[in-house]
Structure 1
Amino acid sequence: MHFELLDKVYYGNTLMDYMISLGIFILSLLVIFIVKNVIIRKLKLIAQKTSTSIDNLIVELIEKKIVPFLYLGTFYFSMQGLKMAPAVQKVFTVSVSLLLTILIVRAVSVLLSVILEQRWASSDKNASRRNAFRSLLTGIQIVMWAIAVVMLLDNFGVNISTLVTGLGIGGIAIAIASQAVLGDLFSYFTIIFDRPFEIGDFIIVGDRMGTVEHIGMKSTRVRSLSGEQLVFRNTDLTDSRISNYKRMENRRVVFSIGVTYDTDIALLKEIPLKIKSIIESIPLTKFDRSHFFSFGNYSLTIETVYYVASSDYNVYMNIHQDINFRIMEEFKSMGVKFALPTQTLHIVPDKSSSSLLSAS
């Protein structure tokens, strides 16, 4: 009697089929419960003991994205043993495919976001670069969703060849029409990721120079020394040779001093030693060399090289001014004179004129 009841058919399936399907579903839920409350909990405890945060994010990803996928898989496989009407089967298959696609895309998107945040964005203090990372991530997510939609339409029997061809032709037309804008956009990402300069850096591009104030998707704005704002296309910057003085750790300084030709040789030998002692006594400087360099048109030239351990131009000027003051003081105490542009004219009397004057 009981076995006859189990063999009764309801909506194309026996009661035994429904019970087996229900048993598979309940057993799978039990397995998921163990995974969620035992295994994942232990993984959380292990992740909390580590110094890195990436494992915590992975465990959180498993709990929030992978576990719902397991629930969907449980429901899908428990229903496979049942016979369904064609319309119901189609609705069931479409619904499962749609939910599965959404779960996969969201899981991959979250995983990619975690990797990018941990690798670049979270460790970067530059706000514009963090925004660029997020913009890039948004673009990647849009592409992923677009691919997922096309794959879903293809699985549902929609002919996507015409759609893809139309999108390809339209994309080419848009790319040609907005070539300059897209070029600046790609140059923007090049600047952000390659970091040839950052906001606050002092750069020289051709004959233009100034401090970077803003890096945008289309253009970069630079404040010149005279006060006006210079606007560069990002493509122009990536195609140009840029001098970045903010990245300069040591500034090399070369300067020359001219003394008069009547300077005593003993004093001339002493001048490089005096200049060396002056530079070495000033903080943030590193002496390189000082030599009697050449015989000039009106002076004996002393050339000196030293380094300033700062990229700040004002620091360099203050140090160089201090050196100049001390050199003047030393030269004054030594009796050494700076050479000025002078010419000595030698007049040789004509012999014929002298003889005529003596005869007269």
Structure 2
Amino acid sequence: MRYVWWGNPIQEWATALAVAFAAAVLMILVRAFLIHRLEAVAERTETRVDDWFLRMLRNTYSLSIVILALYLGSLMLEFSKKYEVSLWRVAVTTMLLQTAIWADTGVRVWRRRYRQAAIGGADSTAGVASTAIIDFILRLFVWVVFMLMILDNLGFNITTLVASLGIGGIAVALAVQNILGDLLASLSIVLDKPFVVGDFIIVGEYLGTVEYIGLKTTRLRGLGGDQVIFANGDMLKSRIANQTRMFSRRVAFMLRVRYGTPPEQLAAIPAMVKEIIERQEKTASFERAHLRNLATWAVEFEVVYWIKTDDYFVFMDTNQAVLLDVLRGLAEQGIDIAFPTQLNVRPAEVYNAQDAALHWPPMDKGADKGAGA
């Protein structure tokens, strides 16, 4: 006697179960083999790709494997069109959910790797704050896209839903455009890295050390100890001078010598300054020293050299040493530094001088008497 269940003989059900069991065992074995191989590869390499695939394979759920195996076994059976469509939708939904889980796992692995790379660095605080929002946006995007695909696969009309989401998104974006602008500016700061936490920057008339980079604001610690807070959008609209990323610093100063200094001594000044700067061979590099101008009250020399460091304290120490040696060299050669002078005249003396000018030239007293007579 031949038993039939749901339009299929028992023998065909047994065949379908055998196919499903074999498919499930095969997929589980393949997953275990790939995990074992990727673990060995990940230990020998420093690339992130194998780590991503390893974590994604580990997040391949056995339930998904069983459902897909049962669907493969169901292909051995004959069902009505309605049941075939339902089974297909269940299988596709399972595949979409598993793919969404893989994508979500990839985003989380990226976030964990980014944070580990930032730990101990200057931008660790900014990295934690920024990757949190990037992680949230990417995972939200992944799940929204896959949920819409799942709804479409299950037979729902998502056209109206997508249109509604689009209109609602535009309304929300207009309502919070300033917040979204600062949020996107935060992502731009983190990804482009014009500065990181710990950098000394100049923004317009404000200068200080970057203390915090948040989702909406960036905070500087000023030289006076005050905290200056910028909106991220305003920060990116400004011109930013990042002093920390200077590989070298250019120093230019004017050396003013008193008039009356002999030309021979004036001619020796550039060579003396060059020898002083080149003495600082580890930190300074001489560029030029020239007599630039015969000014109103001084003979002016322009000196330019480079300090080969981005350390501000080394810069100040080197510049101080150079200036002190220049003063010593001028003193040894008997050359005086020029400085502007001011003649102090009492008001009465000014009045008498003006009065004398009005009666110039002076009149002969004898002539006056003769004329009077």
How far residue 157 of structure 1 moved from its aligned partner, in angstroms, is: 2.5
Task: Please give the alpha-carbon distance, in whole angstroms, between the structure 2 residues aligned to 1:39 and 1:322.
Answer: 65
Paired residue for 1:176? Answer: 174
Paired residue for 2:334? Answer: 335
CA contact (8 A) 1:32 1:67 kept: no
Paired residue for 2:349? Answer: none
CA contact (8 A) 1:251 1:309 kept: yes
Q: Identify the match of residue 257 of structure 1 among 236, 244, 255.
A: 255
Task: Please give the alpha-carbon distance, in whole angstroms, between the structure 2 residues aligned to 1:68 and 1:11.
Answer: 24
The unaligned stretches of length 5 or more in structure 1 are 345-349
1:149 and 2:144 aligned? no
**DSSP-derived class of the 1:246 partner:** helix
Residue by residue over 1:8-53, the C-alpha shift from the partner in whole angstroms, topping out at 9 and shown as x without a partner, is: 2134321111111022123323433542455653454455444545
Q: Which amino acid counterpart does residue 327 of structure 2 have in structure 1?
A: M
Q: Which amino acid counterpart does residue 175 of structure 1 have in structure 2?
A: A
Residue by residue over 1:74-133, the C-alpha shift from the partner in whole angstroms, topping out at 9 and shown as x without a partner, is: 221112333568997787555444432221101122234446766x55544422125423
Give the direction of change, closer, same or farther, for the CA distance of 1:354–1:267 in structure 2 (3 Å limit). Answer: farther
Q: Which amino acid counterpart does residue 331 of structure 1 have in structure 2?
A: L
Q: Identify the match of residue 79 of structure 1 among 67, 74, 79.
A: 74
**DSSP-derived class of the 1:289 partner:** strand
Task: Please give the alpha-carbon distance, in whole angstroms, between the structure 2 residues aligned to 1:51 and 1:176.
Answer: 44
1:62 and 2:66 aligned? no
Task: Please give the alpha-carbon distance, in whole angstroms, between the structure 2 residues aligned to 1:34 and 1:169.
Answer: 48
Task: Please give the alpha-carbon distance, in whole angstroms, between the structure 2 residues aligned to 1:252 and 1:148.
Answer: 56
How far residue 179 of structure 1 moved from its aligned partner, in angstroms, is: 0.8
1:12 and 2:7 aligned? yes
How do residues 201-280 of structure 1 correspond to structure 2 at under 5 angstroms?
201-280=199-278
Task: Please give the alpha-carbon distance, in whole angstroms, between the structure 2 residues aligned to 1:355 and 1:323.
Answer: 62
1:135 and 2:133 aligned? yes
Q: Identify the match of residue 101 of structure 1 among 72, 96, 99.
A: 96
CA contact (8 A) 1:187 1:238 kept: yes
Task: Please give the alpha-carbon distance, in whole angstroms, between the structure 2 residues aligned to 1:220 and 1:140.
Answer: 23
Q: Which amino acid counterpart does residue 323 of structure 1 have in structure 2?
A: V
Task: Please give the alpha-carbon distance, in whole angstroms, between the structure 2 residues aligned to 1:33 and 1:326.
Answer: 79
How far residue 235 of structure 1 moved from its aligned partner, in angstroms, is: 0.9
How do residues 22-61 of structure 1 correspond to structure 2 at under 5 angstroms?
22-38=17-33, 40-52=35-47, 54-61=49-56
**DSSP-derived class of the 2:60 partner:** helix
How far residue 277 of structure 1 moved from its aligned partner, in angstroms, is: 1.5
**DSSP-derived class of the 1:82 partner:** coil
Paired residue for 2:320? Answer: 321
Give the direction of change, closer, same or farther, for the CA distance of 1:33–1:159 in structure 2 (3 Å limit). Answer: closer
Give the direction of change, closer, same or farther, for the CA distance of 1:216–1:254 in structure 2 (3 Å limit). Answer: same
Percentage of identical aligned residues: 30
CA contact (8 A) 1:28 1:74 kept: yes
Moved more, 206-215 or 162-171: 162-171
Give the direction of change, closer, same or farther, for the CA distance of 1:227–1:295 in structure 2 (3 Å limit). Answer: same
How far residue 141 of structure 1 moved from its aligned partner, in angstroms, is: 1.2
Paired residue for 2:309? Answer: 310
**DSSP-derived class of the 2:244 partner:** coil
Moved more, 80-89 or 162-171: 80-89
Task: Please give the alpha-carbon distance, in whole angstroms, between the structure 2 residues aligned to 1:161 and 1:32.
Answer: 36
The unaligned stretches of length 5 or more in structure 2 are 344-356, 368-373
Task: Please give the alpha-carbon distance, in whole angstroms, between the structure 2 residues aligned to 1:203 and 1:137.
Answer: 28
Q: Which amino acid counterpart does residue 311 of structure 2 have in structure 1?
A: D
Task: Please give the alpha-carbon distance, in whole angstroms, between the structure 1 residues aligned to 2:147 and 2:301.
Answer: 76
Residue by residue over 1:280-315, the C-alpha shift from the partner in whole angstroms, topping out at 9 and shown as x without a partner, is: 222411111111111111111111011112233333
Task: Please give the alpha-carbon distance, in whole angstroms, between the structure 2 residues aligned to 1:311 and 1:108.
Answer: 43
Give the direction of change, closer, same or farther, for the CA distance of 1:24–1:181 in structure 2 (3 Å limit). Answer: same
Per the normalisation by structure 2, the TM-score is: 0.82
Residue by residue over 1:186-237, the C-alpha shift from the partner in whole angstroms, topping out at 9 and shown as x without a partner, is: 1111111111111111211222222111111111111222222111111111
How far residue 170 of structure 1 moved from its aligned partner, in angstroms, is: 1.5
Q: Which amino acid counterpart does residue 336 of structure 1 have in structure 2?
A: I
Per the normalisation by structure 1, the TM-score is: 0.84
